[in-house]
Structure 1
């Protein structure tokens, strides 16, 4: 909840992101975007002028606007985020302490589709593998959507109303966040509603991108004693009439229920300092259909984590266990006959059990190390792999499809995976900080990569049950410096991947195999406070990805991008302008090229987009904002946006054209 001493950073309308001052020994790649205070950049960087003021469709759009993060668009919402060229289950995304896995095999509903910025207090972004606490894998990074225990001060209640409107697609959203209680306990209710129509792109063409969204969240907390507190939450998200022109199917509905129990206990004296227990369950139902096929699907996830904190030998320790089970089922039926024709997920069951240990020690004022290790056991199976779907010559079992594609009939898989990281930070003279991180992370194949069994006239899309898990070995170096009026940081990283899971095309069929790959890139950030009230900031991100077996490019790799922003603050007003430059991407693996058979739709041209906005602070916690996105009505597409897996003609959804928008946030 808000009502803290710093200015608003993120509400449902995403007014402004202002980077807060942090300690020199903080984590350089952990970004916290908070609802009630300035976001926290854990690095030797103080102020930054990175802003995200526009109305948002969901959490995926929020992530898309952060440096070093890109996304894939198939419609007006549900943008699927990519961090440093890694995507889907290469990212760990947790909602209020638990996992939610979408119910669409084609990623119409990534976990971020079931989030809105106004329903969470903090969004934490950890780039790369820098922690072992939040689950297996996470080679690309970890994103935490989190809620806090409200701070009531003397009022006994908190209330916030926020919302926004966008002219291009008549998008509107409204969030009410209400809480009552004290330090001893609280009740909190968050209501969100929003919808949008089709938008116009920069060419003036209409893009089918309508949607309706609503969510209700109930939270409660109680202090059981001076050292123990219990929190419970339940959220229900309902999406309707969601258009996906990039998927050749739409979604009449996509609903999710998410429940969480959290127990926290502080120990009095001794080595052990605290205990955290999280239990969660998420149930997702999703329907995708077109004129010929209708496909209902479900994804149910349950799990938990036990985390202990301790202090011993001048070292802070975190250790514990986590478990997760995800069950997915998806069938496709003919609309006319109602006959099941193939199984996209043949009753898939995936289980994970993990043990982890993480430690941090500051040897003196200039040296700090942090390290972690985790072990995970994976079990995966498909319970309906031997069930026949379809009729006549088109009838087949999933096992028969796996056998035809890979010569595999055993659908069960077990893995024992070991990962970890080591990070060293050194404080140099003249406010310079050097940090290096070496890590290994292991990601198991997801339900689609292992078990999808689409068998249709348009082409097959067949998973590989015996895929080896990906092994990511990453090295990162970062140099940063900060002073009162100037701060910057440079990062370079290399990720050598064994058994990278490649999705590839053969004629009109889609398959998976393991290859050797590499990802590497560089990021730079600079902020300059050159005159009173004036701030200039820039963010550069560059990335490459290669198939080491063939020397060809990997698909869906973001082109170079540069975001420059100039802002001026006077009294209650803040004026800002952004110039987003994105280079052409010619280093591609095209889906239409038989020699590569990748996932790229085309070679995308570069573009430049200008955004302008102004903000007025009514009070410490209430603001009004107005702006124009894409001022010059530029026609462009995100390179990572992809076509339907078996589309006859590749389609890349274009981004919205010029759009006027308004935002407000009122605190009571």
Structure 2
């Protein structure tokens, strides 16, 4: 067997897909658990994709096995993969990074994704590649757009719209491309708005929002082997309610520009070149009746990637940079006076060098290894500015009170890497073993937030400017079976973390410190093709997180979850039922206990039934409809933010019964 055939055979055995590739322009969602590559992907259909409309990328991702989310309101779901979140995940939008403008995570990167506007979403769980940036210990998520496939008539138009009864939520999307094989011009627009929804107990949840996004993309083939693509994208949100933050967001605006150059070499050891340049600017405001907090987050960077073949090894190597500047402060609504600083002129600059190699060892084995070095420089230029009455609230004073340091500059030299061995046992079974080290630097909030009240007294939320980066050491073993009708995959993983960055509440103040921690878990997925029309599926995810220094549990760890599905396909008809069972989560670190964690409460288990169906008309228009939470169950995701309901702390509740309808077509 040649190397290419071996790679494809092994990848088919150890990769799973959440939605099949579609030649009609539909979104492709890919979970890549082995041999992640830039050009060659293997796509297989499995269970677990949310059929109903979603408000953003975070809501889409949380329907996948091993992925959850943190809810604060009607949108902006903050994804969690295998117990890791925020900057423990590398999330790229069309080749570039965007960092939100809210220190309280009202706008994670996925909040700026209109899912319908992307062609492909790739989820790489764990540390399986060093290509997409430093860190990424929890995983990498790529929202990508492809060169559009344009019909002979010279243009394509895609329209989509949906309505959800619970929350009176409506969405409409437009995607038009014109051109030929050598040039294209593409315009994408998306609008959505929603009112408050009702949970399973009949309680109203503040969830209003209005969102718009527009993107203009263009591409030209400079030669037979060279392409150049550029895009400008703007998105804006208005009057977004966040009951889990005790503040709302009157607006959040972003503008992103991207440039991508690719070149295929001929008759050279170097085979492929890709250059990505990007810049994103975010303006955000959060407020309540007494306080408002304007903020900005500006990110720019580039990646130069080369692929080559030498010594019978496929190489990927390159360099990337990421520079993020953030400012945020709290002002009194009545007077406009600055009370405290969330981000006092924070700048975090990262430059990385990376190399990966992949080699076939005979007919049944593939070995892959990668190495990455990152230089990180962090500073806070406004750390000595006074905030509040009497000038007592300088960020430097707060850092000194909590950590005994006034030094706000930090430099890190971080080294990570991985080695993976994939072995095909026989035509049915394959096993993959991966060991990795990834180093995740602290983000702007963990380093520099300096929140206190007007007089410098009372509860504070203070970052640690000299905190150490996290060092994740992960081992994962996956066994997969690939047969004509039955496919399954069982994976287990263990992650030992040195200098885990823990947010902890001590005497009412939120601080950050390094601890030793561990996370480990098991995931299992199986699909069985009962006949040509019916597919059965099941998936299970379990994980545990421990604070090794304190002998306590880590916060926001997903409970055991089992999802079963039955899907029926006949000609233009599709129908399915999903039954999701989630266990109670009693292994918690509560915010109001001596543990000082971020868990709101121990969470009760629940069960859900979701129905969906669709029919494609001869004209190509698809009509889909369904019911989520058929039996109107009250439930909350364990990871979600706190929300005072009848004076008892609970998480922001998920919607109750929701009937939805979606229309889409390509013309």
Query: TM over 0.5, yes or no?
Result: yes
Name the SS for the 2:14 alignment partner.
coil
Deviation at residue 155 of structure 1 after TM alignment: 2.1
Q: Note closer, same or farther for the CA distance 1:620–1:487 as it changes in structure 2 (3 Å cut).
A: farther
User: Is the alpha carbon distance of 1:45 and 1:242 closer, same or farther for their aligned partners in structure 2, counting shifts above 3 Å?
Assistant: closer
Q: Is the 8 A contact 2:16 2:43 kept in 1?
A: no
CA–CA distance in structure 1, aligned partners of residues 357 and 534 of structure 2: 41
- Give the RMSD, CA atoms, in angstroms: 1.8
Q: Does structure 1 residue 297 correspond to structure 2 residue 295?
A: yes
CA drift of 1:46 comes to: 4.5
Question: 1:27 Cα deviation (Å)?
Answer: 8.1
Seen in structure 2, the aligned counterparts of structure 1 residues 141 and 209 have a Cα distance that, compared at 3 Å, is same
How big is each residue's C-alpha offset from its partner over 1:471-522, in whole Å with a ceiling of 9 and x where there is no partner?
Answer: 0000000001011111101000000000000000012110000000000000
Structure 1: runs of 5 or more not aligned: 1-20
Tell me the residue number matched to 2:518: 518
The answer to whether the aligner puts 1:426 opposite 2:423 as a matched pair is yes
- Structure 1: distance between partners of 2:13 and 2:229: 28
Q: CA deviation at 1:116?
A: 1.1
Distance in 2, Cα, partners of 1:430 & 1:45: 19
The 5 Å alignment of 1:324-403 reads 324-392=322-390, 395-403=392-400
Distance in structure 2 (CA, Å) of the matches to 1:586 and 1:628? 30
1:574 to partner: Cα distance: 1.3
Give CA-to-partner distance per residue, 1:373-393, whole Å, 9 cap, x none: 00000000000000010003x
Query: Which of the residues 55, 58, 61 maps onto 1:60?
Result: 58
Query: Deviations along 1:167-223, whole A, 9 cap, x unmatched?
Result: 000101010000000111100000100100000000000000010000110000001
Among 23, 26, 29, which residue is 1:36 paired with? 26
Distance 1:419 1:30 in 2: 26
Distance 1:243 1:332 in 2: 18
Q: Provide the secondary structure at the position in 2 that maps to 1:99.
A: coil
**Partner of 2:467 in structure 1?**
467
Q: Is the 8 A contact 1:533 1:569 kept in 2?
A: yes
Q: Cα offset for 1:31?
A: 4.8
- Alignment-derived partner of residue 133 in structure 2: 135
**Aligned with residue 126 of structure 1, among 124, 127, 130:** 124
Which shifted more, 206-215 or 528-537?
A: 528-537
- For 2:264 and 2:463, the matched residues in 1 are separated by 46
Preserved contact between residue 18 and residue 49 of structure 2 (Cα < 8 Å): no
Q: Which moved more, 1:32-41 or 1:321-330?
A: 32-41
1:249 corresponds to = 247
Per the TM alignment, residue 28 of structure 1 is displaced from its structure 2 partner at its CA by 3.3
Q: Does the residue aligned with 2:613 lie in a helix, a strand or coil? A: strand
Query: How many residues are paired up?
Result: 644
Q: Tell me how far 1:267 sits from its aligned partner.
A: 1.3
For the 8 Å contact 1:59–1:115, the answer to whether it is kept is yes
CA distance in 1, matches of 2:468, 2:158: 48
Equivalent runs, 1:186-225 vs 2, <5 Å: 186-225=184-223
* Structure 2 contact 30–43 (Cα < 8 Å) conserved: no
Give the structure 2 partner of residue 86 of structure 1: 84
Please report how far the alpha carbon of residue 24 of structure 1 lies from its aligned counterpart in structure 2 after TM superposition: 3.0
In structure 2, the CA distance between the partners of 1:458 and 1:59, relative to structure 1 (3 Å rule), is farther
Q: Is the 8 A contact 1:29 1:127 kept in 2?
A: no
TM-score by length of 2: 0.94
Q: Does 1:177 align with 2:175?
A: yes
Question: Deviations along 1:539-596, whole A, 9 cap, x unmatched?
Answer: 1000000001121000000000011001222232111100111000000000011x20
1:312 Cα deviation after fit: 1.1
Structure 1 residue 49: Cα displacement: 3.5
Correspondences of 1:419-568 after superposition (within 5 Å): 419-456=416-453, 459-568=459-568
Secondary structure in 1 aligned to 2:642? coil
